[in-house]
Amino acid sequence: MTPERHPAEQASAAQPLDPETVLAALTLEEKAALLCGHDDWFTAAIDRPGVPRIPAIEVGDGPHGLRKETGVDMVWVPATGFPTASALGATWDRALVRRVAQAIGREARAEGVQVVLGPGVNMKRSPLCGRNFEYFAEDPMLAGELGAAYVDGIQSEGVGASLKHFAANNQETERTRVSVETDERTLREIYFPAFERVVSRAAPWTVMCSYNRVGGVHASQNRWLLTDVLRLDWGYQGVVVSDWDATHDRVAALKAGLDLEMPGTGGRTEREIVEAVASGELDESVVDAAARRVLHLVSIVSDAADDEHCLDGPVMRRGHEPGAGLSSEQLALLGAEEHHALAREAAACCLTLLRNETRPGTHGGEEAVPVLPLDERSGANIVVVGAYAEYPRIQGGGSSGVDPTQVDAPLDAIRAVAGDRVRYTPGYVHRPLNAYQDDLPALFDAHDVVFEDDKTGQARRTAALVEPLRRAAALRRALTATVSAKAQRLIDEAESIAVDADVIVAFAGLPLVFEQEADDRESLALPADQIALLGRLAEVRERTGALLVVVLSNGSPVTMDPWHDRVDAILESWLPGQAGGLAIADALFGRINPSGKLAESFPLRLTDTPGQPNWTGERGTVRYGEGVFIGYRWYDALGRAVRYPFGHGMSYTTFRYSDLDTTVLDPAAGRVRVACRVTNVGPRAGSEVVQLYVGDPDAEVRRPPRELRGFEKVWLDAGQSIAVEFVLESRDFAYWDSAIDGGAAHGAWRREGGEFRIEVGASSRDIRLATTVTLPDDPVLPALRPDSALG
């Protein structure tokens, strides 16, 4: 069955569309219609005699793969599921992220979607944010660089990106209401720069505003955010779209700079716009400016569309039954095979080797050598423990969930390498409904969790999300607190099998209910049964001498007490997408050399984390009291120990850093060249991420000890050496000085004269080379105010 053609699709992109000509021909009502979505996924089409036909634009979710609705609510057309953004963040690889986004763009064209809703470049203020798996990093430069690469990749395919969620959307609790209260310096230095970088480098066709308020005003109607900062300061020219249902007052939002409201409201908000113009409350020129931008978007997506790639896309034109797979012809049109291979390559680049202890006698020899990689030919008995090996966690929950074209289980991939030497035992309960959704009722049942109101049949859905979220929170609490009798039996069974192992590969991580949109975690711990399982396996290791390797599947940090020191190796696989299983097996057996580096700090405990005292706020307000100190900026400023620092990630080879050289190219412009040499002094080829940090130890204001200002990922054969070069600009040394009168802004960028510390390292806490440079004061001066003292 082919779903009926959507009414909004009926006008097709036949001829190129000139926004100015079209605008002049439209009535006020038509212009207003263009500014309010037709429904969930389509903008309005206009098709009447005398006006060039304006096709609808179809948008689809991303950003980890295409999520196009089939026409049946919450049923999606299959597409390739790539690693999620937090996994891609760990690659520090602009070129790879660009290629992934290009593939998503190609799939969007094949399925007939013109704008993909992503990437998300929000900062990870707290590791508890349930949506952190959708964001790249705790550092704005890294998130901005990868976000720009993503936008560039997708738009190179003629498909628009939607940079989201602008701005300060750093928690999901009360996300549609909460007001973020912070100073402008914090916004300018931490929460804005990733957006600013993507806007200025990659010009996304759309920017999506966030749900929350900033300084009391919803982002969707915050003129300072959408016009003063985004358009006037950064020069953004594209369309600003609302997050779904984030528009509270359509007219106020339009005046603030919000062009397109999504989804549609069945004509209600169009009428509000028309009435506001009629009453004189709204100037028609504001409607025109927004409509012009939407028409421009229509014109560029239509220009990109050709016969094979117009609204429906070639895959959809072959027909698709909602909920069914794609035919082999459709998979070929999608590029599924090639994209699965890319998903595998990307997942491999995300893998982050956190720990790799040496043990004498490992792999048969006398010498103490690192436990990983395992030797494919050693003949060792391998016991794989953990249900995620069989049903992998590939992505997080919510609007980014993709219906994958296929899923490779790590267990199959390990068996493909090591054959019948591999035994498997689930170790804990994990019953996915399908590859991307936990089966909540089954999970409840499996964990013996029963609710009072469920028993009496009193449970009622008060609002669409309230009840599922309440159940999810209750389930998380239960999973974190108790080990059920059923789980205990699985642990006993795992022990009885693991005692015969030479190598135990234990899969652990977070169930989907711990990482989903509209929801935050309460704890950083793994579920209690997994902690108990790892403890039991550690006992086996101590008794039998088996090697114990832990593979983690989680989109954001977890704590590792009490098992961390009792395991030999930890491989962080993140939420690695549909081909993650193959990549994990490749890394375990050394077919690839892991090169991921943490894009976010792994704390020792929750109470160490930034913003924790006022996390999620109270009475509708959350104060970012920690200011610019989030992530490693926080841990470094306090000299606080972490489990694994920002930038950390091991390799099967070793890199040496040398020959640091700095040259001030232009003192007034603050342009500084930093060069160094990196040599692969280990036994095999691998990639290293060279990280450049800058600090201003004697600043007038409190500044983080170091901030990432450059990074390069380099591939080196064994013995190979390479020169790496960075050029720093004035802004890399500057802070946002609130004492300067910046007009609409409270402040301006200021580079304070003096000595700056330049550090190059393999992580934020593994600085290999350091020096200082001296620069003059930047001549940004406060503007004269009536009360300025002259002379």
Interface positions with ligand BGC (CB under 6 A): 61, 117, 164, 243-244, 399
Q: In angstroms, give the least distance from the CB of 475 to ligand BGC.
A: 21
Is residue 438 annotated as part of the catalytic site, yes or no?
Answer: no
CB 366 within 8 A of CB 360: yes
Task: Give the span between the Cα atoms of 131 and 568, in whole angstroms.
Answer: 30
Residue 670 half-sphere exposure, CB side, CA atoms within 13 Å? 21
CA distance 522 to 126: 11
Closer of 241 and 678 to ligand BGC (Cβ): 241
CB of 210 to ligand BGC, least distance (A): 8
Q: Residue 139 or residue 243: which is nearer to ligand BGC going by CB?
A: 243
Distance CA 438, CA 513 (A): 7
d(C-alpha 396, C-alpha 436), whole Å:
8
Candidates 93, 139, 152, 243; catalytic one: 243
CB of 399: closest distance to ligand BGC in angstroms? Answer: 4
CB of 681 to ligand BGC, least distance (A): 44
Report the nearest approach of ligand BGC to the CB of residue 609 (Å): 23
> How would you classify the pairing of strands 368-370 and 358-360?
antiparallel
Q: For the chain, percent helix, then strand, then coil, each to nearest 5?
A: 35, 20, 45
Check if the beta carbon of residue 9 is closer than 8 Å to that of residue 56: yes
Residue whose tokens read 């972490």: 642
* Dihedrals phi, psi of 659, to nearest 5 degrees: 55, 50
Answer yes or no: are the C-beta atoms of 17 and 7 closer than 8 Å. Answer: no
Check if the beta carbon of residue 408 is closer than 8 Å to that of residue 525: no
Residues 6+ apart with CB under 8 A from 177: 212, 213, 620
| Nearest distance from C-beta of residue 260 to ligand BGC, angstroms | 13
Residue among 162 and 680 whose Cβ is closer to ligand BGC = 162
Which H or E run includes 29?
helix 28-34
Q: How far apart are CA 196 and CA 219, in angstroms?
A: 16
CA distances for 648 relative to 164, 418, 764, angstroms: 27, 30, 7
Structure tokens at 452: 């009072």
CB of 401 to ligand BGC, least distance (A): 10
Token representation of residue 530: 């997994």
Return phi, psi of residue 408, to 5°.
-100, 120
Nearer to ligand BGC, 278 or 466 (CB): 466
Place of tokens 């990196």: 678
Q: Decide: helix, strand or coil at residue 250.
A: helix
With CA atoms as reference, report the closest residue to 112 among 300, 289, 302, 244: 302
What are the DSSP calls for 347-368, one per residue? Answer: HHHH-EEEEE-EEETGGG-SSE
Show contacts of 661-665: CB within 8 Å, 24+ apart. 662/758, 662/771, 662/773, 664/773, 664/774, 664/775, 665/727
Sign of CA dihedral 758, 761, 764, 766: negative
Which residue type sits at 405?
Answer: T
Distance of closest approach, residue 61 Cβ to ligand BGC, in angstroms: 5
- Smallest distance, ligand BGC to C-beta of residue 637, A: 31
Query: Nearest approach, Cβ of 60 to ligand BGC (angstroms)?
Result: 9
Q: What distance, in Å, lies between the first and last C-alpha atoms of the chain?
A: 81
Q: Is 233 left (phi over 0), alpha (psi -120 to 50) or beta?
A: alpha
∠ CA 486-489-491, nearest 5°, is 115
Cβ closest to ligand BGC, residue 116 vs residue 587? 116
Instruction: State which residue, 65 or 710, has the beta carbon closest to ligand BGC.
Output: 65
- For the bound state, the minimum distance from the C-beta of residue 689 to ligand BGC, rounded and expressed in Å, comes to 28
Cβ closest to ligand BGC, residue 194 vs residue 282: 194
The DSSP letter of residue 789 is P
Nearest distance from C-beta of residue 243 to ligand BGC, angstroms: 5
| Least distance to ligand BGC, CB of residue 263, Å | 8
- Greatest alpha-carbon pair distance for the chain in Å reads 87
Residues 90 and 596: beta-carbon distance below 8 Å: yes
| The residue type at 735 | Y
Positions of E strands within 300-361: 352-356, 358-360
Nearer to ligand BGC, 34 or 115 (CB): 115
H-assigned helices in 720-760: none
CA distance 105 to 460: 41
- SS3 letters across 75-99: CECCECCCCCHHHHHCCCCHHHHHH
Structure tokens given for 681: 């002094």
The Cα–Cα gap between 503 and 380 comes to 7
CB-wise, 154 or 598, nearer to ligand BGC?
Answer: 154
Positions annotated as catalytic residues are 243
